């Protein structure tokens, strides 16, 4: 992947343990501003599709957790960089389900694979699948990235597929 990608190194302390628990350090606004300008130039110059703007954890979720759940993916999207699901479409796919209710693992694996993740579609909730789900959640739902195959994750994946891979 490194031979065919452009990497931007963002300096961040990452996860730290505090008396309140495991937390992630925020990215300073000045750093985010520079990142937006640089990334916007790169994606425009090289015509990089939104779904190809990814982090280490999206590519190698078994080994990497960066840039982590504090990374401002939504801010990048709001500035024309990367992919993000439409809230209304997520709500439509959620269809009144409890966001935390568990879903069929194979169906979620299929959505994640179609979106571009390297994951089996065998319906087994093994460590590899949990890491892929957690990476996806860190990117698109950073408030809860436990790797559980829940309805909200399923709805987000479906909304992304509708938008970028109809």
CA quadruple 100, 129, 54, 48: dihedral sign: negative
Contacts of 42 (CB under 8 A, 6+ apart): 6, 8, 48
The residue among 145, 159, 147, 165 whose CA lies nearest residue 91 is 159
**Do 74 and 112 contact (CB within 8 A), yes or no?**
no
Q: Is 9 a catalytic residue?
A: yes
Active-site option among 1, 4, 7, 9 = 9
The residues annotated as belonging to the active site are 9
């Amino acid at each position: 992947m490194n031979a065919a990608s452009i990497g931007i190194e963002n300096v961040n302390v990452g996860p730290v343990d505090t008396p309140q628990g495991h937390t992630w350090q925020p990215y300073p606004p000045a750093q985010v501003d520079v990142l937006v300008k640089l990334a916007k130039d790169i994606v425009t110059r090289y015509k990089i599709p939104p779904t190809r703007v990814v982090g280490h954890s999206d590519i190698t979720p078994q080994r990497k957790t960066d840039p982590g759940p504090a990374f401002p993916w939504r801010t990048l999207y709001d500035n024309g960089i990367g992919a993000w699901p439409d809230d209304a479409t997520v709500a439509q796919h959620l269809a009144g389900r409890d966001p935390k209710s568990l879903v069929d693992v194979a169906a979620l694996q299929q959505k994640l694979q179609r979106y571009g993740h390297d994951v089996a579609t065998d319906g087994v909730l093994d460590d590899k699948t949990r890491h892929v789900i957690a990476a996806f959640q860190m990117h698109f739902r950073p408030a809860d990235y436990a790797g559980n195959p829940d309805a909200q994750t399923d709805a987000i994946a479906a909304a992304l597929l509708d938008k970028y891979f109809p």
